[in-house]
Structure 1
């Protein structure tokens, strides 16, 4: 969920429909279309006709220790703000959980919301670029935040991993829920790093009540923006971890964090300075910063500034680095369907970003009266982690990523491959003729040759 008026693709549901996750490929979009929004893109645009390879679900050994992220390390973070020029706050901060006493009522979600804010803001440029900007800046501030990019196997959004997990868990048309088609563009960095570029048919859509639910407004009514991030339209966090032997760098959106005391807040060093800079390294003074901040306006839920065609990203230094242990995922369900909560869908979302807290809030027609807290590492979630079906999917995910990595390596630095999943469950690899959305050569230098 995004905070402060510009919405993401997360929403709770009434009437028993499943509340989709932020940017999730199974989100049930509304049928009402805003005529000002562009039409959906063609899933096959810019792709060749011939199939390079059809991927099958790998066979894996069910024995051994559970597969999960190991050695999780924070690398960077940022908040988007509403500006024509792509503008991020680094390190930024998630909104803080207010711990409001129940009950309280929340309105249905309405207006334009993001399916993929990074894709919208970057307007055809690489949606991974803000990830690298944030990591570079945080590494300047933190002596202990370093990364050898040439050693990384996969750079991706959590969204891409979840889409692959759904493909792996899909058991055919008789399983009930149809598999939503998806596409992931691939690029090689250095000798082995696979860059997985998120691709969506639409980067924004319309929230139409009552189907849209009230999950976004629940977040807004239950959290407070962090100091320096009052104009945020969404907080993104980047972590690295080991996943069954693969070195992963994963970006994901954060709903909220637990309030931080001065004793536990990670130091921000230069991040608290009132300075703004672009990717070229130029800076503006405090007056310029004030002008920029006063011009930001995200109060409207019906529009967002058209993105710039320039690849430069303006960086505002503000916010606070928060520890991984304070990150919270918020989700809502109708009280009538709280017992139908799907851990098969929700648990991978938590684990693949190592989000330690899940707050599940139950409502009756928008009136929230209780919340159930879940925590990674608890006995309840360890039982889910050890579930044979979920563990098989995690092992298959690691095996699939290795297969994709070998394919991308075989096609070399100038090879352009794309994964396309169809509703029937087939996952195929195509060559891509378009160069749109790729990381520039100057950025690829970080991966070596």
Structure 2
């Protein structure tokens, strides 16, 4: 039952990787060619990984969930994030309403794109460090087993679920060992942006845009990323994921406060200009983590704005043609909700762009009990393969850097890398030895 092959042609499916930053511009620039999935790797592979079999044990699900940080990207020349930022707010518009089909550039991997040749995990650490400096959170990095984007876990789940009946979309994950045991899973994509051509791309991005409003202090940002910590089958996980939207109530209830250096707080005004004026009045415009302040790491500018949104408030948005909504693939969507502990899924059904129904589901609801039971074996396999990867890195020592590459036929191979380019720099690895 548990599979990731779609039931319709790709023209009816939104690329789940292409989630953040949508230009909506029909005159899209030419994009660079796809990267070679084996660039920078040493052939032949050193090992082929097999799917775990006969995995037994207690129920596997995220436990002891804890929010540790968040940020929004700003579209600036220098990498710039808003901390803690806020997701867009669900408008709950009256039905029906119409949105145009998507067209233009979408971001496949915004973190790596905006960091250029630097490490795409750096914004995660910057956001958590800023929150920790405020006393909002704390992390014992040396005790963490896995640090990853949710995307990497979903790719491993697709490999585990692959039966060989259809081809599997190939993928690569770069691996790095921090301290004695922490596995850093670095996202790798053939392309960081892609063109969307209507009507093939559907209207999922415009559905998000037309159904939400920017949170105060976060106008003009290009995607909200949330970082959580939880236990999964005995592994201590830190997972980053993008949030599509949040419910309005909890955000307003928090007063939309903005934390500043020195413990001062101001109330965020409705507009960006008002926010700028308020910050200027306090003699603060932004916080910039320069190379010297971050022990040689790449520079990331940090703007203090937004508000921490409760986990209970976050929403995953998706859309389907009303003609195919009965074929919605829960086997694909359910792990996405679980791995980020996103409690709400809003599924919009449309007829050629006119949305006439919004189906609202809740993680743990009765309608998901069957897929929840069916997913247990594959989640146990996921924990097992993560432990295998962790041991592989430990066996290769602290300087070892490996990559796993999945081929179209479902073969998952481990390669040595020729360099540590794109990985976390040595100055940042000190946090795992503290």
The TM-score bracket by the shorter chain reads: 0.7 to 0.9
CA contact (8 A) 1:23 1:159 kept: no
Residues of 2 paired with 1:111 and 1:240: CA distance? 35
SS in 2 for 1:228: coil
Runs of 5+ consecutive residues of structure 2 not aligned to the other structure:
1-7, 20-25, 267-278, 280-284
2:162 pairs with 1:170: yes
2:418 pairs with 1:433: yes
Q: Which residue of 2 aligns with 1:59?
A: 53
Alignment of 1:92-131 (within 5 A): 92-131=85-124
| Post-superposition CA distance 1:267-324 (Å, at most 9, x none) | 65438663312113999xxxxxxxxxxxxxxxxxxxxxxxxxx920001000010000
Alignment counterpart, residue 321 of structure 2, candidates 327, 331, 334: 334
Alignment counterpart, residue 417 of structure 1, candidates 402, 405, 414: 402
Q: Which residue of 2 aligns with 1:270?
A: 260
2:234 pairs with 1:224: no
Alignment counterpart, residue 234 of structure 2, candidates 237, 242, 245: 245
Q: Which residue of 1 aligns with 2:37?
A: 43
Residues of 2 paired with 1:18 and 1:230: CA distance? 29
Cα distance change on mapping 1:51 and 1:208 into 2, 3 Å: same
Superposed displacement of residue 379, structure 1 = 1.6
Alignment of 1:365-444 (within 5 A): 365-387=352-374, 390-444=375-429
CA contact (8 A) 1:256 1:328 kept: yes
Superposed displacement of residue 37, structure 1 = 1.4
- The 4+ residue runs of structure 1 with deviation greater than 4 A are 13-16, 32-35, 264-268
Residues of 2 paired with 1:122 and 1:241: CA distance? 26
Residues of 2 paired with 1:339 and 1:45: CA distance? 41
Cα distance change on mapping 1:15 and 1:244 into 2, 3 Å: closer
Residues of 2 paired with 1:405 and 1:282: CA distance? 32
Q: Which residue of 2 aligns with 1:306?
A: none
Superposed displacement of residue 36, structure 1 = 2.8
Residues of 1 paired with 2:180 and 2:142: CA distance? 7
Superposed displacement of residue 38, structure 1 = 1.2
Superposed displacement of residue 17, structure 1 = 2.4
Cα distance change on mapping 1:35 and 1:23 into 2, 3 Å: closer
Cα distance change on mapping 1:198 and 1:16 into 2, 3 Å: closer
Structure 1 length-normalised TM: 0.84
Alignment of 1:192-211 (within 5 A): 192-211=181-200
SS in 1 for 2:340: coil
Structure 2 length-normalised TM: 0.87
Superposed displacement of residue 386, structure 1 = 1.3
Superposed displacement of residue 217, structure 1 = 0.5
Superposed displacement of residue 138, structure 1 = 1.1
| Post-superposition CA distance 1:341-372 (Å, at most 9, x none) | 01110000000000000000000000000011
Superposed displacement of residue 382, structure 1 = 2.9
| Post-superposition CA distance 1:426-449 (Å, at most 9, x none) | 000000002210111111110007
Q: Which residue of 2 aligns with 1:27?
A: none
Residues of 2 paired with 1:377 and 1:265: CA distance? 30
| Post-superposition CA distance 1:110-131 (Å, at most 9, x none) | 1111000001001121000000
Q: State the superposition RMSD in angstroms.
A: 2.2
CA contact (8 A) 2:13 2:202 kept: no
Runs of 5+ consecutive residues of structure 1 not aligned to the other structure:
1-12, 25-31, 284-309
Q: Which residue of 1 aligns with 2:3?
A: none
